[in-house]
């Protein structure tokens, strides 16, 4: 999203695009990770020391209400944020693979035609079955990353090798 588009979006919503709000948006837009409010605060404080943690929380809540930011719960006890793909100049539509052990989040783009077709058919089926017009979706897969899965497998092997 260009700065002009962001200003226009704020103007239409009767809110001002303040310096702290712009800084928070830019941090999210330029991040490769899914940041918590505390992560954003630490980065923002280095840019603009007058910012407070409460401002970060309020801004994230506002950006979420405006449809600019998505809030995620990946099971690590902290809300994580990212720019909605329709508002981002860098990120396309993607889903998440979430490790239940280390809480690593991997962005997963549905890039193969068969996958896109499957998601499209699922959406069409849900719309038809429930009479619900779907405008957006987020898919999250929970499991174990390769490192954690390897650790779990090694633990299983060690237990099997022990005499009980």
pLDDT for residue 60 = 97
- Closest by CA to 47, choosing from 23, 83, 26, is 23
pLDDT for residue 5 = 82
Which stretches in the chain have pLDDT values below 70? 1-4, 86-92, 110-113, 162-164
Domain 93-164 adopts which CATH fold? Answer: Dna Ligase; domain 1 (3.30.1490)
pLDDT for residue 48 = 96
CA-CA distance, 32 to 34, in Å (whole number)?
7
Domain boundaries, the chain: 1-90, 93-164
pLDDT for residue 91 = 60
pLDDT for residue 87 = 55
The DSSP call for residue 69 is: E
CATH 3.40.50.300 assigned to 1-90? no
Judge whether 66 and 13 are in contact, CB under 8 Å.
yes
Query: Please, what's the largest Cα pairwise distance for the chain?
Result: 70
pLDDT for residue 86 = 59
CA-CA distance, 120 to 140, in Å (whole number)?
16
Locate 137 and state its tokens: 């979706």
- Which regions of 74-164 does DSSP assign to beta strands (E)? 79-83, 95-99, 105-108, 140-143
CA-CA distance, 156 to 40, in Å (whole number)?
39
pLDDT for residue 163 = 54
């Amino acid at each position: 999203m260009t700065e002009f588009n962001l200003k226009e979006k704020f103007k239409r919503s009767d809110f001002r695009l303040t310096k702290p709000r712009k800084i928070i948006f830019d941090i999210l837009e330029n991040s490769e990770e899914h940041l918590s409010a505390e992560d954003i605060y630490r980065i923002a404080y280095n840019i603009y020391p007058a910012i407070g943690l409460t401002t970060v929380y309020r801004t994230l809540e506002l950006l979420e209400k405006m449809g600019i930011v998505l809030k995620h719960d990946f099971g690590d006890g902290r809300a994580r944020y990212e720019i909605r793909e329709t508002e981002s100049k860098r990120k396309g539509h993607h889903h998440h693979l979430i490790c239940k052990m280390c809480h690593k989040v991997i962005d997963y783009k549905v890039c193969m035609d068969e996958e896109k077709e499957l998601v499209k058919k699922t959406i069409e089926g849900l719309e038809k079955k429930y009479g619900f017009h779907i405008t957006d979706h987020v898919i999250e897969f929970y499991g174990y990353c390769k490192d954690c899965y390897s650790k779990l497998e090694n633990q299983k092997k060690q237990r099997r090798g022990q005499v009980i």
